Amino acid sequence: MTSNTQVIYVKPPKEYPIIGETMKIAKSTIDLDCALSQGDIIIKNLVLSVDPYMRGRMRDPSIESYAPAFEFNSVMTGDTMSVVIKSNNPKFKQGDLVYGKTGLGYFEEYSHVKGAYADIGYVVRNDPKTTGLPLTYYVGVLGMPGLTAYVGLQKYGKPKKGETLYVSAASGAVGQIVGQIGKALGLHVVGSAGSDEKVAYLKELGFDGAFNYKTQSIDEKLKELCPKGIDIYYESVGGEMLEHVLNHANNFGRIVVCGMISQYNTSNPYPIRNIIYVLTKRLTMSGFIVMDKENIAYEEEFMRTCTQWLLEGKIKYRETVAEGIENTPQALLDVLKGKNFGKQVVKIADL
């Protein structure tokens, strides 16, 4: 038997998750030499993706939402990159790199994946062996966050050259990609972030303007940096930020909503007092979940295009890497409190 460290979801938090109460690290064992039933695989997990949406899964299962709740006292799930160490499934061979699709990979060192689950939850992704790109990229810029940026801006933002794009949480896993795609499409791109270091990074990426929303007036900076108003707002924050954007939105503007992190850990949601602008300015506000079938359909196009952009140096990407599976709970808490820089991942092991 082999020791197997796991990240366990315990029970819902009232606001921010509490390490040891909401989620904890536990030790188990796994038989890596067991006989496998038809379709089963055993994988060694190498990289875990830690994302804001996971907070929404920390709830009572009876409460409906866009994604299934974590099961109490069970291994947490999310995006993963892993290597197959044993297989009785024709789709997967020993040595294959596999991507645990959004919300379906296991947060543990090793996983014995049953055949039916392997077929729906995992895909072979051996690209890192030939591209030379970091394995962590495949749960970030080339994973769910990158696809979210690509689909959100292209499909729902409907960008036109010369328009103004504003991106909140612009240095995060999704925002940094949205802004760079926007620049490639000929948009005037402005972003906000929560520290001067993150703002400097946005300027390095080629954003036309950037500001620290924690230390500067959001309203004044939007007026200064978006003098022609906002045509597309890529929303990841919600609350007061959305209220300010509505003030500066142009007629027929598009608001693309992929998250509202400011509202995830509060029992007192912020009331949007000027929502009438959605009517008077004829705005389109589109919420979307990237795992929906019609959005996943863009994955092949996205992977091909974004891989080429990365190899050509047209897109840069920044990550925060936590070493060791035991640091996963803290990594998630850091994401929810905005302490990470760029995409947050957990590295469990080398290939």
Q: Give the max Cα distance, the chain.
A: 66
Pair 318, 176: CB distance under 8 Å: yes
Minimum mean pLDDT among 64-68, 69-73, 109-113, 127-131: which range? 64-68
Q: Residues 198-256: pLDDT tens digits?
A: 999 999 999 999 999 999 999 999 999 999 999 999 999 899 999 999 999 999 999 99
Helix (H, G, I), strand (E, B) or coil at 262: helix
Q: What is the helix (H) or strand (E) element at residue 303, kind and residue range?
A: helix 299-311
CA 81 to chain centre: 14
Answer whether residue 162 shows pLDDT above 70: yes
Q: What is the pLDDT of residues 302-312, one digit of tens each?
A: 999 999 999 99
Look at residue 62 and tell me whether its pLDDT is greater than 80. Answer: no
Residue 151 has a pLDDT of 96
- What the chain holds in terms of domains, given with CATH numbers, is 2-139+318-347 (3.90.180.10), 144-287 (3.40.50.720)
- For the stretch 281-307, pLDDT in tens is 999 999 998 888 898 889 999 999 999
**H-type alpha helices, 210-338:** 218-225, 240-248, 277-280, 293-296, 299-311, 328-336
Residue 64 scores a pLDDT above 90? no
Which sign does the torsion angle of CA 331, 334, 335, 339 carry?
negative
Model pLDDT, residue 68: 81
From the CA atom positions of the chain, what is the Rg in Å? 21
Residues of the chain with pLDDT > 70, as a percent, come to 99
Please give the Cα distance from 309 to 208 (Å, whole number): 20
Is the model more confident about 269 or about 63?
269
39-54: average pLDDT: 96
Torsion over CA: 77, 293, 237, 262 (sign): negative
**What would the mean pLDDT of 21-39 be, rounded to a whole number?**
96
Asked if 326 and 25 count as a contact pair (C-beta separation under 8 A), the reply is: yes
The tokens describing 9, both together, are 């979801």
- Type of residue at 31: D
* Mean pLDDT confidence for 168-176: 93
pLDDT at 76: 95
pLDDT score at 296: 85
pLDDT band at 268 (very low <50, low <70, confident <90, very high): confident
- 213-222 pLDDT, tens digit per residue, is 999 999 999 9
Residue 153 scores a pLDDT above 70: yes
Percentage of residues in the chain with pLDDT exceeding 90? Answer: 84
**Residue 344: pLDDT band with limits 50, 70, 90:** very high
Q: Which pLDDT band holds residue 102 (cuts at 50, 70, 90)?
A: confident
Please give the pLDDT value at position 289: 87
Query: Residue 88 in contact with residue 13, Cβ under 8 Å?
Result: no
* Residue 89 per-residue DSSP state: B
Q: 304-314: string of b/e by CB count within 10 Å (b at 16+)? A: eebbebbeeee
Q: Which residues contact 339 (CB under 8 A, 6 or more apart)?
A: none
Q: What is the mean pLDDT of the chain?
A: 94
Q: What is the DSSP letter of 94?
A: T
End-to-end Cα separation, the chain, in angstroms: 21
Does the pLDDT value for residue 66 go beyond 80? no
Which ranges constitute the DSSP H helices of 88-213?
A: 115-121, 128-131, 144-151, 175-184, 196-204
Q: Which of 131, 134, 137, 105 is nearest to 120 (CA)?
A: 105
Q: Is 56 exposed, middle or buried (0-12, 13-18, 19+ CB in 10 A)?
A: middle
Sign of torsion, CA 305 309 315 318?
A: positive
Summarize the confidence of residues 173-201 as an average pLDDT.
Answer: 95
